[in-house]
Chains A and B, each alone.
Chain A
Amino acid sequence: MADSTLQLCSFQLAEALFGLDTMLVQEIIKVPEITKVYQAPEEIIGIINLRGKIVTIIDLGVKLELPSTVESRNRRIIIVESGNEPFGLMVDRINDVIQIDGGKLGPAPANVRVSQGRFISSVFRDEDQLIAILNLEELVNQAENKTD
């Protein structure tokens, strides 16, 4: 059924698999030169120029209290938009775009730490993988609250 099918962009942070609804993804770019912003919160790597727009880059690893992303040629930035403002989410590797059956979504497992839990809206599981689907608004807004 069309209703229950979801397209996910799946990516890796360290060894963990995460997913973001493709409808939320504007584009995926390679890591350009990043201007570091001193005094900024820890998860903010810096800012970049994306075709004339200043985009804040968030290290998703740090944000989710995982190891921070590691410099490698696989590292990518997912450009998303929230509240009319573009953000870049830095991840270790982009895996795939997958169609999933909405029926196979479940709540986040209880053993996910609370601090992480609020960023995870649901979990997808099938035979060979487990993907945590992220709540974009929470990711971006929490960052704001935290810095206040």
Chain B
Amino acid sequence: MSMSSFIDDETLQEYISESLEHLADIEQDLLTIEEGGANIDEEVVNRVFRAAHSLKGGAGFLALDTIKELAHKIENVLDMMRNREIAPNPEIINILLNSFDKLRDLINNSETSNDVNVDEFIVALVGLTTAHLTPAEQESVSNLIPIIKHNGNVIFEVPEIDLAQAKKSAHYLYLLEYDLIHDVYQHGKTPMEIIKNVMDLGTVIESLIDIDQVGTLEDAPINSIPFYMLISSIIEPVVAPGFLELPDEKVLLIGNDGRQLAVEVASPAPPQPKPQAKAQAAATPAAKPPTAPPAAQAQKSPTAASAPPTAPKKPKTTTPAKTPTDSGRTDSGKADKNESQASLRVSVSLLESLMTLAGEMVLSRNQLLQAISQHDQHSIKLSGQRIDLVTSELQEAIMLTRMQPIGSVFNKFPRVVRDMSQKLGKDINLVITGKDVELDKTIVEGLNDPLTHLIRNSADHGIEKPEVRMAAGKNAAGKIELRAYHEAGQVNIEITDDGNGLNPEKIADKALEKGLITADQHKTMSVKEKMALILLPSLSTAEKITDVSGRGVGMDVVKSNIDQLGGQIEIDSKFGHGTTIKIKLPLTLAIIPSLLVTVGDERFAVPQVNVSELVRIGAAQVKERIERVGNSEVMPLRGELIPLIRLASTLGIKSTVIDPQSGIAVEDRRQSIADRRSPSTGIDASLPEHEENTEIAERSGRDRRYKAKSDLNIVVVSAGSFKYGLVVDDLHDSIEIVVKPMGRHLKHLTSYAGATIMGDGRVALILDVGGIAKLAELTSMAGSQRAQDLAESSEESRRKDRQALLLFGNGPEERCAVPLDIVERVEQVMYENIEVKSGQKVIKYRGGSLPLFALSDVSEVAKLNQEQELVVIVFTVANREIGLLATQPVDTIEINAVIDQDTLRSTGIMGSTIIKEQTTLIIDIYELVETLKPDWFKRLQKKEARQKEAQRQSLSSAAPIQHEVRNILLVEDSDFFRTQLKKYIDDDERQCIPAEDGLIAWNWLQENPDGVSLIITDIEMPNMDGFELCRLIRNDSRFDHLKIIAVTSLASDEHIAKGKEVGIDDYQIKLDKDKLLASIEANIN
């Protein structure tokens, strides 16, 4: 029979929630104990001991025997630990951790806990305690002493060792006989209160509810439920009943033989339990509060003669009993999920403020009712305002009751990381910050699984083994940081590790292999996009599945968990250096600010967190602003192409437009926003073309209303890492809505996140922007990719080679730019500081003279004048520093410019491009200096000599210099750089053969194996990159003689190493002309 039949549920619930609270901090404490090793922090051990002790006490009362037993055995180990009889080591801590896990599991399933077999834990724990005992003591473990009342009733049997242990720290054994009816319930107490009180006063050894005495229903009405507790305490027998709140006759002093001592405890002349004990009791400071748990120092006093021998024990090096196997751990994993408790703790102050607000609410309601009955408009208004105010406050306060510190989830990770480090043979430090950050209870609970997964991932796949880390020049100990913080009304959680990082290429390869992306996408994706691929289902990069993670559940599960919580996940990783995963979460799920939109007659709420901006395109502009690519519509928005989704057609709502003639809403038959085709069917014929509409409407004088309908309202929403535009009929207010779940028939609809009840009592659906995108077949990855494909397939690859330009002025109207890479510095100068020495402008600069040039020196451009703010842009040309005079404003920009090389081409001006809607001249500083200072360029003199020679020869022969020109294959995908490089290199000795990517170059080489004398190649290119090209060339003996120079905008050591490996002969920075030319000279055949 179950005890819960007469122990009320409330007591059980209280016990469970308190126990779980006790258990919550235990892991941390045990880990601290482990860290301390033999250097025991009594405070911490005591804390864990007390927790186990409380669990035991309550379990005894609730007849949760298995829990009691397990807690008791744990308690024994801890008791010995705090008495320094055993020293904590990882093995012992392991056993304790696993036992506590099991305990938590049992408590979560307390109903069935008595049927659970915990023998393996008991054996392990008993092994720990007995391993250190003398044979005599070992015997005392199995030797049961019956506790016998005066009347001969045996209440229970207790192992001798338990009695002995108890007496070590306290001097009196009491058998307490509580009557649950008279002593507890009738005094308005709860059983838990009684137990807690007892545990404050002493140590509970055993407890029992005497069911047999209760009888059955047929018997006389129950008038007593005895509850026995055997405790040890330092409290003197005289005062014990008072402290224990029991009548004197219910506090029985028990002798060491387990028999009730002859004389009643409370008799006027209390019998002395034992002379020694008495002496010790007297020696105990009288002022010592009885609430303290058995003081550790008391243990040192010699024990009573009758107690089992307690000769000083030397810790023996015995192998602790078998560690409970992993089954315990798996169970604990399950238990975690069950931990979503049905009850919640709320601070009293918060509860009081709720009560106050509720009172206010009632008051306001009364005022309102009165005002209504008196038809007092003014008072009605006032009460309305008051209710408005109180409601908001009430709402806020109620929301607060749901807030929980995230620490309740974070606290388990030190254990997780510890266990994993042990298992994986790694050294990992976990740093946790922001435990106090509070989140909605549901969110905190929902975070458990995804965070565990991420932490496991970091520990397993992120952090490398110590030897690998050392080899990579890292600290042998890895570090995982778990951080929670508030930002912009959201909570961010970051998991950062300094491990190996993600390899975007590997992820992309895998995605390609699994057919998740196409080969084209594979080539054109950005690094970040590649990394985001890891969130796709069935993509686990773990090369081998380990015991610890990689159990077939991947990051996609994490993502969907986070999605469910209304959160977003971002991955940032540097290969070789670590990974940061950032999760953004809303504070609460129950009430969310949302934007109201309408389509036809339907209202929808879009969660504000998804809304990034609102765009309204006037009817007249629709044609220009919306582009159609294939069957899709896109809207360029600040350089990004935003795919558009029409909500109406996606959901199948019949969108309406106001018929200008009748003023009645008519179904909008246009297939797409920018659709201008003539209506063909009869019904459609009634709908004049869009733009005509506007005109008619304007004429009819209802333009305002009409225009609102014909304008295009777009909500730009972000779903995870990508954005799209949701086209709706109308935009309305932003309101706070209460999310209500949908019924079971509708739950599967991914388009909706739920429903809400509007102010007018009607229901509106809440859109799930991710779901809508899916419905419109714009899945996150494919969607963003498709939009880019639409943009222009080459756009993406070109974007990688964006040029950083320095913008500056030349004269009031002219804007100029030079590649930022070749700029050394920008200095401000005063006009009067410029001197002219032997026809050359110079300025004193860093102890020398800096020659100054102006664009007007070589080209037909505006001359600089005194009034302007002057700057000098410093370059290194021909191994000299030179300055180019320019004017403010100086700015930098990163663009993907297409250079017009004809229109404004002139000496020193490479061409022009449009930057920020201004025609901008791209300056060729080398040409400029070369023109003005030809003697600086020795090569140029040589060239001139050759030119003269050539001229002479050309007189005699038709094409005599052809053989002298050596071809250089220039492989570069960026127009800008290709043009620039070609200009640098081309002269009459050298001729560039441009190729746009590795594949084109390779194909060309196949046809012209002897066509070139040198290859200059970019690294990052679409279709075939520089490394691959190089590999092919090096594997072909025909090209053995060819040298390869790689040009990059940034040469990292890693790159260079890889380059050397595949056979690149030299590395040059793209726009460092001098060095590049020197390298060409050195390497050309």
A binding-site residues for B, Cβ under 8 Å: 33, 35-41, 44, 47-49, 52-56, 58, 83, 85, 87, 143-144, 147-148
Question: In the complex, A48 Cα to B653 Cα: how many Å?
Answer: 19
Whether B369 is near chain A, meaning CB under 8 Å from some CB there, is no
Question: In the complex, A40 Cα to B743 Cα: how many Å?
Answer: 11
Select the stretch in B162-170, B462-470, B761-769 that faces chain A: B761-769
A35 touches B762 (CB 8 A): yes
Taking CB atoms, residues of chain A closer than 8 Å to B652 are 38-39
Q: Which of B744, B757, B761, B775 has the most CB of A within 10 A?
A: B744
Cβ of A102 to closest chain B Cβ, rounded Å: 31
- 8 residue pairs of the A-B complex, CB under 8 angstroms, read A39-B751, A47-B755, A54-B742, A54-B763, A55-B743, A56-B745, A144-B744, A147-B748
B757 touches A52 (CB 8 A): yes
Question: In the complex, A48 Cα to B742 Cα: how many Å?
Answer: 11
B602 touches A36 (CB 8 A): yes
Question: In the complex, A39 Cα to B648 Cα: how many Å?
Answer: 11
Cβ of B550 to closest chain A Cβ, rounded Å: 30
A85 touches B743 (CB 8 A): yes
B755 touches A147 (CB 8 A): no
- Further contacts, 20 of them, CB under 8 A, given A39-B651, A56-B745: A35-B762, A37-B742, A37-B746, A37-B749, A37-B765, A38-B653, A39-B652, A40-B745, A44-B746, A48-B763, A49-B757, A49-B762, A52-B757, A54-B757, A54-B763, A55-B743, A56-B743, A83-B744, A144-B745, A147-B745
Question: In the complex, A85 Cα to B744 Cα: how many Å?
Answer: 8
B binding-site residues for A, Cβ under 8 Å: 602, 651-653, 740-746, 748-749, 751-752, 755, 757, 761-765, 775
Taking CB atoms, residues of chain A closer than 8 Å to B775 are 39
B743 touches A54 (CB 8 A): yes
Question: In the complex, A39 Cα to B749 Cα: how many Å?
Answer: 7
Q: Across chains A and B, which 9 residue pairs bring their CB atoms closest together, nearest first?
A: A56-B743, A38-B651, A35-B763, A54-B740, A49-B757, A54-B755, A49-B763, A143-B745, A38-B652
B742 touches A47 (CB 8 A): yes
Q: Is the interface of B mostly helix, strand, loop or mixed?
A: loop
In the complex where A49-B757, A54-B741, A54-B755 touch, is A35 in contact with B765 (Cβ < 8 A)?
A: yes
The residue that B755 contacts in the complex, of A35, A41, A58, A87, with Cβ under 8 A, is A35
In the complex where A38-B651, A39-B651, A39-B775 touch, is A56 in contact with B764 (Cβ < 8 A)?
A: no
A47 touches B763 (CB 8 A): yes
Taking CB atoms, residues of chain B closer than 8 Å to A39 are 651-652, 749, 751, 775
Taking CB atoms, residues of chain B closer than 8 Å to A48 are 763
B746 touches A56 (CB 8 A): yes
Taking CB atoms, residues of chain A closer than 8 Å to B751 are 38-39
Taking CB atoms, residues of chain A closer than 8 Å to B757 are 49, 52, 54
Taking CB atoms, residues of chain A closer than 8 Å to B746 are 37, 40, 44, 47, 56
Taking CB atoms, residues of chain B closer than 8 Å to A148 are 748
**Cβ-closest chain A residue relative to B602:** A36
Cβ of A9 to closest chain B Cβ, rounded Å: 22
Question: In the complex, A6 Cα to B377 Cα: how many Å?
Answer: 54
Taking CB atoms, residues of chain B closer than 8 Å to A41 are 745
Taking CB atoms, residues of chain B closer than 8 Å to A37 are 742, 746, 749, 752, 765
Taking CB atoms, residues of chain A closer than 8 Å to B743 are 47, 54-56, 85, 87
Taking CB atoms, residues of chain B closer than 8 Å to A44 are 745-746
**Cβ-closest chain B residue relative to A55:** B743
Question: In the complex, A37 Cα to B761 Cα: how many Å?
Answer: 17
Question: In the complex, A70 Cα to B650 Cα: how many Å?
Answer: 27
Question: In the complex, A35 Cα to B755 Cα: how many Å?
Answer: 10
Question: In the complex, A144 Cα to B775 Cα: how many Å?
Answer: 20
Question: In the complex, A55 Cα to B755 Cα: how many Å?
Answer: 10
Taking CB atoms, residues of chain A closer than 8 Å to B749 are 37, 39-40
Taking CB atoms, residues of chain B closer than 8 Å to A53 are 740
Cβ of A4 to closest chain B Cβ, rounded Å: 34
Question: In the complex, A41 Cα to B745 Cα: how many Å?
Answer: 8
Taking CB atoms, residues of chain B closer than 8 Å to A144 are 744-745
Taking CB atoms, residues of chain A closer than 8 Å to B741 are 54
Cβ of B743 to closest chain A Cβ, rounded Å: 4
Question: In the complex, A53 Cα to B746 Cα: how many Å?
Answer: 15
